[in-house]
Amino acid sequence: MSSKPMPLELLPIPIDAHRAGNTGIPFAHRLESGQPGPAVTITALIHGNEVCGAHALDLLLQSGFRPAIGSLTLIFCNIAAYMRFDAREPTASRFVDEDMNRVWSEQVLRSSRSSVELERAREIEPLIAATDLLLDIHSMQTPSPALMLSGPLAKGRDLARQVGVPAFVVADEGHKAGRRMRDYGGFGDAASPKNALLVECGQHWAADSRAMAIETMLRFLKATGQADDSLLAQYGLSATAAAPQHFVEVTEAVTIETEEFRFAEEFTGLETIPAAGTIIAQDGPVAVRTPYDDCVLIMPTKRLKPGQTAVRLGRRLPA
Ligand SMILES: [Zn+2]
């Protein structure tokens, strides 16, 4: 599959002014309301090349925003990777040693293993563990419409509904390769009141991804009770989101088996394939077909290597 390079509309911004922070942990800020309420956290740059979240947090920090209730912690996560950004090879700054969004289990965090990402995850872990409500801001390889990854539990979908954007909410289990931050501890426990969302704002370097990161952040703050409609109005946003939401449940992942994996079309993500049995890819001798009618393709990869997830398949859920 040919993959033409995406134009770099959205680039990293200097964030050195945010290094000191006020939590004792570099690039982590806490804004206190002085009132009781939830411990809310918004994170950016778990993947160093996903710069839209850094734009959103920088905007909020510069605005002088204070939460109405509880506390708000803002963390720029994988700084080491972000600092390596090179416009000639923009995807190289995703991580330094390993994917920082696959290390979020007690087993991995408490292990004796070391990496740049694991050390940073251990550094911010106390802030994440103390969080009641988390929004983790990401972006995607392909120019897919934005989507919310709400996790496998109903409480994640409920929070996504309260936020109201993006228009697509995808309920998913995460990755076999390791647990994501949004599934860590109480976030992944149906019995815990803790809750987390991961937003994929669009393509990494698309200007629209910045706007989606900011809108999702502001509507999330409203959903937590830390902000009201006047904050939305300040950024030209109406009280309620414009588009209705669609909920999709991931049913399976297509794992690449051979070096000869090719998609049937250049899918970007969130396409709905009407008929069961439609060929969506060829993996060596095997045709990959949709298993049911109205199958939704979620985040097709451009890294077509054996063992990788090529695409995840989803079924529409009632809203
Ligand atoms: Zn990401």
Question: Taking residues 22-34, what's their average pLDDT?
Answer: 98
Question: In this structure, what is the dihedral angle of CA atoms 46, 47, 50, 51, given to the nearest 10 degrees?
Answer: 60
- For residue 50, the CA-to-ligand 1 centroid distance in Å is 6
Return d(Cα 304, Cα 300) in angstroms, integer: 10
Which residue in 88, 99, 68 sits closest to 224, CA to CA?
68
User: In angstroms, how far is the first alpha carbon of the chain from the final one?
Assistant: 35
- For residue 36, the CA-to-ligand 1 centroid distance in Å is 32
- For residue 35, the CA-to-ligand 1 centroid distance in Å is 33
Q: Is the pLDDT confidence value at 1 over 70?
A: no
pLDDT value of residue 4? 64
Which residue in 100, 95, 105 sits closest to 49, CA to CA?
95
- For residue 172, the CA-to-ligand 1 centroid distance in Å is 15
Which residue in 169, 174, 215 sits closest to 55, CA to CA?
215
pLDDT value of residue 303? 85
pLDDT band at 242 (very low <50, low <70, confident <90, very high): confident
- For residue 199, the CA-to-ligand 1 centroid distance in Å is 9
CB count in 10 Å sphere of residue 57? 24
Residue 216: phi and psi, rounded to 5, are -65, -45
Interhelix angle 207-223/52-63, rounded to 10 degrees, is: 50
Question: Taking residues 64-82, what's their average pLDDT?
Answer: 98
Question: Taking residues 88-110, what's their average pLDDT?
Answer: 94
- For residue 78, the CA-to-ligand 1 centroid distance in Å is 11
pTM of the entire structure? 0.95
User: Are the beta carbons of 280 and 289 closer than 8 angstroms?
Assistant: yes
- For residue 238, the CA-to-ligand 1 centroid distance in Å is 28
User: Are the beta carbons of 258 and 283 closer than 8 angstroms?
Assistant: yes
Return d(Cα 296, Cα 277) in angstroms, integer: 13
- For residue 117, the CA-to-ligand 1 centroid distance in Å is 14
pLDDT value of residue 288? 98
Question: Taking residues 21-30, what's their average pLDDT?
Answer: 97
- For residue 268, the CA-to-ligand 1 centroid distance in Å is 16
- For residue 10, the CA-to-ligand 1 centroid distance in Å is 15
- The residues, any chain, with a CB within 8 Å of residue 106's CB and separated by 6 or more, are none
Q: Is the pLDDT confidence value at 2 over 60?
A: no
pLDDT value of residue 3? 53
Which residue in 139, 185, 132 sits closest to 159, CA to CA?
132
- For residue 181, the CA-to-ligand 1 centroid distance in Å is 11
- For residue 184, the CA-to-ligand 1 centroid distance in Å is 16
